[in-house]
Amino acid sequence: MGEAASREDSLGFRTALIVDDHPLFCDALSMTLRLSAGIAEVRSAETLQNALEQIEAGWQPDVIMLDLNLPDVEGLDGLVRLKAAAGAVPIVVVSSMDDNRMVASALRAGASGFVPKHSQRDVFRDAFATIASGGTFAPQGFVPTGDGADARTEAETALDRLSLLTRQQARILDLICEGKLNKQIAYDLSIAETTVKAHVTAIMRKLSVQSRTQAVLLAQQAKFAHVMHGDPAGG
């Protein structure tokens, strides 16, 4: 108890949300979080939508653990959307797709850390300690990219731009991708159509696009970025 309490006091993480659709892994990760970071309350969500609903209902965990491939989303698109909803809550990607480019893309898209699945408990402990001190955690062997040695892909640029959107703007972009018009979006979100128009203008400015079609294409580039990084069936 003393060891767990001291870790909890030093790291400051007391609640966590695990977003993963594998029950056995969720159970194992939950135990790891309790033992390695002194986290007392751990909730889970099997889909991105369920995670967003929990946050929408007002529950804000101290940290979020996110699998990249979920039943309702694949690749880094889920990270971008969850980041927009969670705000300042740190998100740690826990994935088996841990090649160098995927790690770099996840960190660039706003993840506070990246831990490969099946990592030992001390790796998770190191990740929490790094994040608690204001740093960003990357797995052993990771080599930062984007310094001129590695050209940025269109998908990575798309992720950079999407990460600029507010939570409401991200929701509106999702509805635009579904083909909905401003009037329909206003109805769905219970806001004025003029407010939707203002958000759409801001979205296109942040994404550096000139039309709704271009905004949708850019969102799709991010959504399918995982195809460039290895096996899309991984977690």
Average pLDDT, 10 consecutive residues per value, the chain (235 residues): 42 90 92 89 94 92 93 80 88 89 85 92 92 92 62 67 86 90 94 94 90 83 50 40
Cα separations in angstroms, 153 against 108, 139, 160, 220, 222: 12, 22, 11, 14, 10
- Domains in the chain, number: 2
pTM check: above 0.75: no
Domain span holding position 78: 2-132
pLDDT of residue 105: 83
Last residue of a domain, one of 97, 132, 167: 132
The answer to the question of residue 18 being in a domain is yes
CATH code of the domain covering residue 204 = 3.40.50.2300
> Are both 102 and 161 inside the same structural domain?
no
> Are both 90 and 30 inside the same structural domain?
yes
Give CA torsion, residues 86, 204, 68, 101, to 10 deg.
-120
CA 24 to chain CA mean position, Å: 21
pLDDT of residue 146: 55
Answer whether 48's CB lies under 8 Å from 72's CB.
Answer: yes
> Are both 87 and 176 inside the same structural domain?
no
pLDDT of residue 6: 41
The answer to the question of residue 143 being in a domain is no
pLDDT of residue 68: 87
Phi, psi of 146 (to 5 degrees): 90, 10
Q: Is 169 helix (H, G, I), strand (E, B) or coil?
A: helix
